[in-house]
C-alpha cells in the first residue's frame, strides 16, 4: 500500500501527540489508562471477523472464536452463571449488550413493560425506542439508586403486564446499584410469575465480585442477562463488552444462516475479531487475583482522594464501596482541562486503573486554588 503523503503523516503524528496528552489528563470518564497490547499488533494485518455464534463453526475461518469462548467462560464463572444454562458473546460495548438483553426480554414477553430509573444510561431510552417496547421511567433516590417504593406502586398498577426490569449496577454519574434481589422479593410479594431482569453492569460488573458486600446483580442473584463493558475498568483501546444470558432464552431467537454456515444469535452480523483477543490477553495476564488487586488499589485511591477533598472543604461523597467520587461541579475551565463528566451541578472522579495519586494531587490542588480565587474575587 502506498505511504501517506508527508502532510498527512505530520497531521497523524500531531493527532497522536494530542490524544496521548488528553489521555494523561482525563479523570471523569470510566476508561482504564493501563493499556499494553503490543503483542496483538500483528492482528491488524488480518481481516479478523467473528461472524456468527461464537459457539458454532461456519465456513469463515479467519476468526478468534476460540479465544472469545475462553473470555466468556471466565465471565460466566465471575457472574456465577449456571454451568448448563449460559451463553454470551463479545460486543461493541455496553449499549449493544443492553440492547441484546432487552431484545431477549421482548422476544420472551412481547407485551411486556420495561421499567428503568431516571438515572439509567441515556442509551436505554434509545434502545427501547429501537425495539418498540413500552416503558415507564421510575424515580431515583438521591444517591442514584432506583426508588423501590415507586417501582412497587407502579408495578401494582400494571400487574397484568410482564415486567422487564432494567437494573443499573453502577449508574453513570454516581455508581449507584439497584438491588435485584430486593426487586425479585417484590415480584414474589405481588405474585408476579413472569418477569425478566437485565443487569447493566457496565463498569461495576468486574468490580462487584471482589467487594466486601457485593451488590446482588449476577445470575445467582436472579439476573436473566448481564452486560459489561470491556473498555472501562478492564481497559481496551477499542470499545467493547460482554453480554451474557441464560441459554434457554437465546435458543428461542437463534436461526441458521446458510450463507455463513452458522447461527444468527448476535445483534450484528460481522463482529470485531480483535476485541476478544484483547480481553483474552487481559484476563490471562491478570486472572481473578490480578483483578482483585486492581479493585483493592482503586478503592484505596478513592479513599485517599475522598479524604483530601473533604479536608479541603469540598462537599464530596460516594456510594458504598464505589470508586466514583461525586462533588459540586467546579469551573468550566477545570471541567474542560480534566475532562470531568458533569450534569445537573455535579461532577465526578472515577478511579480507573491508570489514575495515580500524583495526577489526583494535581487536580485537587488546582480545584482548591480555583475555589480560593473565586472566594476572593
Strand pairing of 113-117 and 134-138?
parallel
Is pLDDT above 80 for 318? yes
Dmax (CA) for the chain in angstroms is: 72
3-state secondary structure of 5: coil
Is pLDDT above 50 for 260? no
**Segment 342-346 mean pLDDT:** 94
**For residue range 176-195, what is the model confidence (pLDDT) as tens digits?**
999 999 999 999 999 999 99
Three cell numbers written together for 159: 400487574
Model pLDDT, residue 272: 96
Q: Other CB atoms closer than 10 Å to residue 134's CB: what's the count?
A: 12
pLDDT above 90 covers a percentage of the chain that reads 89
Phi and psi for 20 in degrees, rounded to 5?
-65, -40
Per-residue confidence band for 1, with pLDDT thresholds at 50, 70 and 90: low
Measured CA to CA, the distance from residue 21 to residue 25 in angstroms comes to 7
Three cell numbers written together for 193: 410469575
Measured CA to CA, the distance from residue 359 to residue 24 in angstroms comes to 9
229 and 241 Cβ atoms separated by less than 8 Å: yes
Is pLDDT above 90 for 255? no
Strand pairing of 225-229 and 134-138?
unpaired
More confident residue, 287 or 257: 287
Is pLDDT above 90 for 374? no
Model pLDDT, residue 230: 97
Model pLDDT, residue 258: 42
Phi and psi for 126 in degrees, rounded to 5?
-65, -40
Model pLDDT, residue 24: 93
Per-residue confidence band for 257, with pLDDT thresholds at 50, 70 and 90: very low
The mean of the pLDDT values for the chain is 94
Is pLDDT above 90 for 115? yes
Per-residue confidence band for 122, with pLDDT thresholds at 50, 70 and 90: confident
**Segment 242-266 mean pLDDT:** 74
**For residue range 58-109, what is the model confidence (pLDDT) as tens digits?**
889 999 999 999 999 999 999 999 999 999 999 999 999 999 999 999 999 9
Domains with residue ranges and CATH for the chain: 7-33+292-376 (3.90.1150.10), 41-283 (3.40.640.10)
Model pLDDT, residue 339: 97
**For residue range 20-57, what is the model confidence (pLDDT) as tens digits?**
999 999 999 999 999 999 999 999 999 999 998 999 88
Per-residue confidence band for 253, with pLDDT thresholds at 50, 70 and 90: confident
Amino acid at each position: 500500500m502506498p505511504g501517506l503523503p508527508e502532510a498527512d503523516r505530520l497531521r497523524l503524528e500531531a493527532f497522536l501527540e494530542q490524544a496521548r496528552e488528553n489521555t494523561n489528563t482525563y479523570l471523569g470518564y470510566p476508561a482504564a489508562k493501563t493499556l499494553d497490547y503490543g503483542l496483538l499488533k500483528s492482528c491488524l494485518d488480518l481481516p479478523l471477523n467473528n461472524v456468527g455464534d461464537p459457539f458454532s463453526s461456519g465456513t469463515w475461518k479467519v476468526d478468534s472464536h476460540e479465544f472469545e469462548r475462553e473470555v466468556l467462560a471466565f465471565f460466566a464463572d465471575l457472574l456465577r452463571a449456571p454451568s448448563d444454562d449460559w451463553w454470551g458473546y463479545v460486543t461493541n460495548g455496553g449499549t449493544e449488550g443492553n440492547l441484546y438483553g432487552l431484545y431477549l426480554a421482548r422476544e420472551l414477553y412481547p407485551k411486556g413493560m420495561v421499567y428503568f430509573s431516571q438515572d439509567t444510561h441515556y442509551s436505554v431510552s434509545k434502545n427501547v425506542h429501537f425495539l418498540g417496547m413500552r416503558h415507564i421511567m421510575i424515580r431515583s433516590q438521591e444517591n442514584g439508586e432506583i426508588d423501590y417504593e415507586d417501582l412497587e406502586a407502579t408495578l401494582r398498577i400494571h400487574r397484568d403486564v410482564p415486567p422487564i426490569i432494567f437494573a443499573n449496577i453502577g449508574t453513570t454519574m454516581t455508581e449507584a446499584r439497584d438491588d435485584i434481589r430486593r426487586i425479585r422479593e417484590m415480584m414474589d410479594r405481588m405474585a408476579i410469575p413472569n418477569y425478566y431482569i437485565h443487569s447493566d453492569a457496565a463498569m461495576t460488573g468486574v468490580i462487584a465480585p471482589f467487594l466486601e458486600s457485593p451488590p446482588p446483580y449476577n445470575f445467582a442473584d436472579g439476573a436473566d442477562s448481564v452486560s459489561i463493558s470491556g473498555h472501562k475498568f478492564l481497559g481496551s483501546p477499542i470499545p467493547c463488552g460482554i453480554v451474557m444470558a441464560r441459554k434457554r432464552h437465546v435458543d428461542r431467537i437463534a436461526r441458521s444462516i446458510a450463507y455463513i454456515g452458522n447461527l444468527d444469535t448476535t445483534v450484528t452480523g460481522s463482529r470485531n475479531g480483535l476485541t476478544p483477543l484483547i480481553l483474552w490477553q487481559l484476563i490471562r495476564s491478570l486472572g481473578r487475583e490480578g483483578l482483585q488487586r486492581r479493585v483493592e488499589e482503586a478503592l484505596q485511591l478513592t479513599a485517599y482522594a475522598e479524604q483530601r477533598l473533604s479536608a479541603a472543604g469540598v462537599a464530596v461523597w460516594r456510594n458504598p464501596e464505589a470508586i466514583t467520587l461525586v462533588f459540586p461541579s467546579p469551573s468550566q475551565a477545570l471541567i474542560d482541562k480534566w475532562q470531568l463528566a458533569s450534569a445537573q451541578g455535579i461532577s465526578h472522579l472515577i478511579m480507573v486503573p491508570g489514575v495515580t495519586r500524583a495526577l489526583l494531587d494535581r487536580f485537587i490542588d488546582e480545584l482548591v486554588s480555583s475555589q480560593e480565587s473565586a472566594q476572593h474575587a
